[in-house]
Chains A and B, each alone.
Chain A
Amino acid sequence: MNRLTYLAKRLALGVPVVLFGLTMSFLIMYRGPIDPVMTILGRDATASDIRQLRIALGYIRPNGTQVPIWEQYATVMYDLFTLQFGQSWIIQRGVPVTEVIGNRMPATLWLGWWSVVIALLFGIPIGLFAGLKANSWSDYLASGGGIIWRAMPNFWLAVMLAGSLSAGGALGWYRGLGSDYGLKTDVIGTPDEVGNLFTVVDLFQGVPVLELLFLPIPNVGNVLIAFKWILPAALVLGSASMGNEIRIGRTAVLESINSKYVETAKAKGLSSRRIIVKHVGRNAVVPLLPVIMGEFYLLIGGSVLVEKVFSINGLGNLFFRAVLGPDIPVVMGLVFIFVVIQVLMNILQDLLYTMVDPRITLEDAGR
């Protein structure tokens, strides 16, 4: 099976999964024991207002009859799959959901990107190092750290770190760091002050977000400010993954080092550097792949908590407020995006598997 047919097949198989996730969310949001109309209008709404809104939200028809649930379902699903996300009900009433989400996307992308990068940059080397020095003191330190690091709840770590960063805290100096060079940021503040940092410092200068990830960045100073601002939150968000990477990386290296093929490589007279880089390295990546890809999963959930503690006005915060609202179109839009990302990530993971480990064929990878 070549890669393209495989890709098509996996995408097709992904549709029921997305559908299932959305159906579940639909049932919860539309059939759960809440009445969004009353929440939106408040207690002293007039009967006609209520009627108006019910019609607008698609619960009843203009002639007053109930819209059957399956019809609501069909409409919602059709709209989502045709990427018509509708308008926000509560958070920014009447504003298109795409715009509500789009406004908050950059902060979360920025946060997620750094949390992944930082976890990878520290977690994997530490794990590999611990594996190479197995049963030494530095190994115990690293793997012990990994065990604790991955058991720490994100929200708690966030609270502790945010607290230490506040004025007078143990890490209070961080705020002033580099302020001589214009790197002034409060790190934590109200969402209005800091959350919209991106608009405040005009980081992107109108460059669309996605391009920004690949293009030379317009203003280095602003990027540094944005980095300084996001670093603590990204550290926290990546913490659990980093712990996992240390642990799994260590076992993977150990397993590889004790393998027969490393013995063979030694018998060939290869240098230990070459053995570690070439033979151990690539084999150790195989078990690490699911951990790395799993990061994205942890990231989406974790962003709700971390963004709340660090007052970052991103998608996690938005989701939380939308659910409490309830701002159902925003919730459904976000769930749609998250689920699709999740399914795509799974496919990407399987493709990567086949690339790193030739024994795994595309057919196996689907399992």
Chain B
Amino acid sequence: MEEPTSRFDEDSTLRSRLEADPEPALRWAAVMAALALVQIGSLLGGLLSILDAAVVGVTAIFDVLFGLVGLTGASAAVVDVQSALSGAVTTARDAAEGLPTLLSRETIPNQGHLASADGPWVDTFLGLEPALAWAVRVLLIVGYSLFTFYWLFRGWLVFRAHYRQADWTPTDDMIDRLRDHRWGQFGIFVLALFLIMALFGPALGPTTVSQNIVSPYSHEVTYFNADAGAVETVAAGDANFNSKSKGAGDQNVGPMTYDNFNRFHPFGTLPNGRDLFTFMMGGARITLIVAGLAIGLSALIAGGLAMVSAFYGGNIDLTLLTTADGIVSVPRLLLLIMISAIFANHWLAGVLDGGFLLALIFAFTGWPFLWRAVRGPALQVAQEEWVDAAESFGQPPRTIMRKHMFPYITGYLLVYASMSTGGIIVGLAALSFLGNGLGITPPTPAWGRAVSLGQSYVSGPSWHISFIPGAMIVVLVTGLNALGDGIRDAIDPESAGGDDDEAAAGGGA
């Protein structure tokens, strides 16, 4: 590997470099600011949601720790603090979501009704029919988000071209190789699409989770009643009741159709009359949160332990090996079922509608796979001369691991993390499919539950209920595998694949 070279003064700061040539940075920042401004409401809302999740996560860890050492009082106090904090964050979030946002359902509404039997449409965007209004909004949101993702990447390119201390680093080559890798790009694209679904879920659906799924009886629907020949209003719950998809001729609202209440259903309805598309968007959010948390934790544990076992070797390595083998020896899905069934009524199962607990379980059951995969590279780097050299300079092990070993194994960690994420997503869906207190708590949408709901209607006209969620999982998992392949080829163009650890990455559940 070549040494990174520098074209600036050794000790120039980023700030001085920015001041020397501000133009590219300003140009980039101006566009970025414009992009952020049009979406300021949902942006703040999103940030606050993340903050909320972080508060819950931190308190949960404290709670478990206090519980373990028997400080029940302290753990109760912690829970109190958490609910107070979460409450505050929720208020702030509600306020933030009240801020004007360009690509929101309020700006481009699709929920309207016919004024008479043959039009016009009332309350929709520009008087378009709901399907079109909805499509316009979805296209704008997807376009906006893809462009924003691209612009963020552009930001890195600008930094690399104008402001970075080193004018070349090994990462540049990896990124450039990835830019030539069609299959890997397909993976990035798929992941981006699902991220958009998770981020903009509420604005993407033709209706919202709370209106349509969680509390349908506190919301109303205005529609043109063809039988009565007049515009009427019903509770969304009642409208759902009469829009069921149960396979039989008139009891079906298929994909891309309207129900009798002037509501458009891009993916059709569920057997209980709820909108499948909205359900899927809600599911995307919880799925990605759980998968992201789980894989992040797994990777952290696996990476750390891999470096420890590579650095110290011997008995520590052997102990880790036995531990990992022990965890792996109980088939993962069985372990998942056991833990989530037993904890079904624990308060932890209430956090994030059960998602937080599931993420912990997935992390606990998943790290051995990752650990096995990166232990090899970690061992390799531990034998390199520069690690010996650093050791002889008297650098403490922690510094050596962080500075010399971690950068080397990150790539591998990314590859295998991306491939195991597919397994987590499938596993999560499987648990929700099994139901009985496993998986995500109803009524919060979960992909697996949709498959289970549609189970009896697969052969009839309501095939969409089970088919669409599964197909979406297939696309997402394939995308993640592609991303893994792409990163692998980018780090190590020589390797042509064929690694055995992939066996665990597939849709085995």
Contact = CB atoms under 8 A, between A and B. Distances in A.
Interface residues of A, number: 71
Contact of A290 (B333, B474, B503, B507): B503
Interface string B441-467: 000000010011011111110010011
Contacts of B338: 25, 28-29, 323, 331
A305 B333 CA distance: 10
Contact of A326 (B342, B451, B459, B469): B342
Given A150-B507, A305-B509, A32 B329 contact: no
B455 A159 contact: yes
B389 interface: no
B342 A319 contact: no
Interface stretch (A90-98, A165-173, A195-203, A274-282): A165-173
Nearest to A292: B503
Interface stretch (A16-24, A54-62, A357-365): A16-24
Interface in A342-358: 342-343, 346
Contacts of A254: 496
B498 A248 contact: yes
A33 B346 contact: yes
A308 B451 CA distance: 14
B474 A151 contact: yes
B350 to A, nearest CB: 13
| Most chain A CB atoms below 10 A, which of B329, B333, B342, B500 | B329
B455 to A, nearest CB: 5
Contacts of A285: none
B330 A25 contact: yes
B177 interface: no
A21 B481 contact: no
Contacts of A252: 498
B334 A319 contact: yes
Given A159-B451, A304-B337, A154 B329 contact: no
Interface stretch (B127-135, B261-269, B426-434): B426-434
B458 A287 contact: no
Interface range for B: 35 or more
Interface string B326-338: 1111111111011
Interface string A140-167: 0000000110111111110110111011
| Most chain B CB atoms below 10 A, which of A151, A162, A239, A323 | A151
B55 to A, nearest CB: 23
21 contacts: A17-B326, A24-B327, A33-B343, A147-B478, A151-B473, A151-B478, A151-B506, A155-B448, A156-B474, A160-B458, A166-B458, A239-B507, A247-B497, A248-B500, A291-B503, A294-B500, A298-B508, A300-B334, A305-B430, A335-B330, A342-B328
Interface of B: 322-323, 325-335, 337-339, 341-343, 345-346, 422, 426, 429-430, 433-434, 436-437, 448, 451-452, 454-460, 463, 466-467, 469-470, 473-474, 477-478, 481, 496-498, 500, 502-504, 506-509
Interface of A: 16-21, 23-25, 28-29, 32-34, 147-148, 150-157, 159-160, 162-164, 166-170, 172, 239-241, 243-244, 247-248, 251-252, 254-255, 287, 290-291, 294, 297-298, 300-302, 304-305, 308-309, 319-320, 323-324, 326, 331, 335, 338-339, 342-343, 346
Considering the complex of A and B, which 9 residue pairs feature the smallest CB-CB distances, nearest first? Answer: A163-B458, A20-B326, A169-B459, A301-B333, A156-B470, A32-B342, A294-B503, A298-B508, A290-B500
